[in-house]
Amino acid sequence: MPVRNSAAAAGFGTAHWPVEIRLEKAERRLEIDFDDGSRFVYPAEFLRVESPSAEVQGHGPGQKQLVAGRREVGILDLEPVGNYAVRIRFDDLHDTGIFSWAYLYEIGRDRERLWKNYLAALEAAGKSREPGT
């Protein structure tokens, strides 16, 4: 998958480029090594609940939707989007989020905080990570 072309990514805020992307389907995770030496491991569930899609993020500030019941979600495949992003197709058939390199870097860097906030939001809403909830 081609991953570096600064001209193609102009305007997408891409400061760090992936140098290697590994989809570990059996482990339900995506691993990305970036050009600055950062390496992030993204569980499929984390990517699904942080999807940049309008379905999850809403159409404006403060509209983010809480996605529950995705503990067992997997990743079916990845599709390059230009040279600046990847579309992730999850096994719950969600596939509308386009994950830019900048977004993946940001959520990888902030994963611990984002996950903690997600778990707190689930608890506050009386929801669960378990499927069917």
Q: List, for residues 95-122, the tens digit of each pLDDT value.
A: 999 999 999 999 999 999 999 999 999 9
Query: Please, which pLDDT band fits residue 15 given cuts at 50, 70 and 90?
Result: confident
Task: Name the strands in the sheet holding 18-24, side by side, starting at the edge strand that comes first in the sequence.
Answer: 18-24, 29-34, 39-43
What pLDDT shows up at residue 7?
38
| Residue with more model confidence, 80 or 3 | 80
What pLDDT shows up at residue 8?
41
Query: Please, which pLDDT band fits residue 132 given cuts at 50, 70 and 90?
Result: confident
43 pairs with which residues across the strands?
29
Res. 79: pLDDT tops 50: yes
Res. 1: pLDDT tops 60: no
Output the six-digit token pair for 34.
């970036």
User: What span, in angstroms and rounded, lies between the C-alpha atoms of 126 and 91?
Assistant: 25
Task: Name the strands in the sheet holding 85-90, side by side, starting at the edge strand that comes first in the sequence.
Answer: 75-81, 85-90, 98-100
Query: Please, which pLDDT band fits residue 74 given cuts at 50, 70 and 90?
Result: very high
User: What span, in angstroms and rounded, lies between the C-alpha atoms of 88 and 71?
Assistant: 17
What pLDDT shows up at residue 12?
53
Res. 133: pLDDT tops 60: yes
Average pLDDT in the chain: 90
Res. 6: pLDDT tops 70: no
Q: How far is CA 50 from CA 2, 24, 54, in A?
A: 24, 19, 11
